Amino acid sequence: MSAEIIDGKAIAAKVREEVARDVEAFTARTGRQPGLATILVGEDPASAIYVANKRKSAGEAGIASFHHELPADATTEQVEALIEQLNDDENVSGILCQLPVPDHLDGVHLTGLIDARKDVDGLTPLSAGYLALGRDGLRPCTPAGCMVLLAETGVELSGKHAVVIGRSNLFGKPMAQLLLAANATVTIAHSRTADLAAVARTADVLVAAVGRDRMVKGDWIKPGATVIDVGINRSEDGLHGDVDFAEAVEVAGAITPVPGGVGPMTIAMLLRNTLTAAELVAREGAPA
């Protein structure tokens, strides 16, 4: 068999079109544009590109962009003061502090200072708590994007077994919680999991997020399973995911490619989160 290829580019484009339409309606209704504030500390070239892409995408969706750059030697107090200022700015719906920050700064601490109503990355302790408790809130962009990919592909999650390989706070844990909220039975596997391949083979939905080039082989996959590959690894022969695509495509029922699968969804969901944040504040019933 040959798996259905899940077209993340097309699905992300659909999400972005929907967000742009909804932003236009929100702005007409409230008289205020949603606004995304980005914070870039230092001069990391990759981070600068990521932030520029996010700002460009925000503008295309009708979202105002407020960009702030701080030098690489900025103090914790300077970054804290900027976040506090943005928390209080009514024109700012969402705040994104680009990670990683320079080594002398604590990215987890700084991200945690963002008002949960404006936490468009969904990474603050409050946002994580709302997710764990099943309360309304902003969800991490990449896991949320994976849920959209599954929904658009018509994958039924209720009662199915989902295995998430990876237990990071940024992806693995929130991905598992989103799958659990969709009534899947969820296993989180990781580097200490005994017979990882055998655990993976039990999955109706297999999500790989470990950062190891083509670690998941074809014989790790249950025939007909849906495979979501979150990894992106550069090697001498090109860009690859955590799943050996050439092997997996012959076994899986549906699979995301790398590139062109999960990646495009992250910025699309960031835009959706910014609009959601604006709507939460407009309703004045959002968590503080």
> Would you please indicate which residues are annotated as catalytic (active-site) residues?
54, 98, 121
Amino acid at 176: A
SS3 237: coil
Hunting for tokens 């009514």 — which residue is that? 90
Distance from CA of residue 119 to its chain's centroid?
A: 12
Strand partners of residue 238: 235
The dihedral sign for the CA sequence 19, 110, 39, 44:
negative
Q: Is the peptide bond before 259 cis (omega within 30 degrees of 0)?
A: yes
Transcribe 92-121 into DSSP letters.
-SEEEE-SSPPTTS-HHHHHHTS-GGGBTT
